[in-house]
Amino acid sequence: MGSATNRNPARRLDDASSLAGLLEFRPRLTVVLVFLTLMVAVVGWRIARDTGARRVDVIAREAIGLFDAVSSAAVATALPDAAEASVRFRALAGVPIGFPRDDVDFVPVEVRRETLANRPAASLRFRYAGEEYLLVVSARDRLLGTPPDAAFPEGSFVSGERDGRSFVLWEREGASCIGVSEVDVTQAFDLVRRLFT
């Protein structure tokens, strides 16, 4: 049997072809379309909110703050060599990162425990070819053996500039790493690629 509603197009008024006519003739369809539109908007907002862009922004802001907090000139004693710095850094960070031992331009200055994005981290302040750099590494937490979602795919780099400082952020081996400096972002990116990846 057919529907009890008369859907004869000849009986419709001429002004019923607008969106207002949709409310007049098919209120159920209108309600469904409104709910679907709201659902798509909410899902899109949640996806945009949960992207790694916000996490990258927070990490970059905090790392630049750490870079600006204590200048390397204020540190009185430099570490004797890259091997000792590597051992101390690994003990603090819990992540194995090798430092260049044969490069005379690489001069470690200070290894410290820091907090980055509300997580424990280790920082290495160093000079390379006379320029100051800061490397901060924070191990990502694992819950029940499953790694958390990364802000961006493994092996990818995010670089940028903020407040006259350049930063390069990457994730590897269960850690978030960021390098900060006052040099040009392309120079900082090249240094990170050569020394730490």
Name the residue ranges covered by the structural domains of the chain: 9-47, 52-196
Q: Dump pLDDT digits (tens) for 78-121.
A: 566 788 888 888 888 888 787 888 888 888 888 889 888 888 89
CATH 3.40.50.300 fits 52-196, yes or no: no
Reported as half-sphere exposure (CB side, CA atoms, 13 A), residue 49 has a value of 6
Q: Name the phi and psi angles at 107, rounded to 5.
A: -125, 105
The arithmetic mean of pLDDT across residues 123-145, rounded, is: 80
- What is the pLDDT confidence band of residue 165, given thresholds at 50, 70 and 90? very high
Q: Give the pair of three-digit tokens for residue 82.
A: 């890259």
**Distances from the Cα of 52 to the Cαs of 47, 146, 169, 178, in angstroms?**
10, 18, 12, 15
Q: Which H helix or E strand runs over 48?
A: helix 27-49
**pLDDT surpasses 80 at 179:** yes
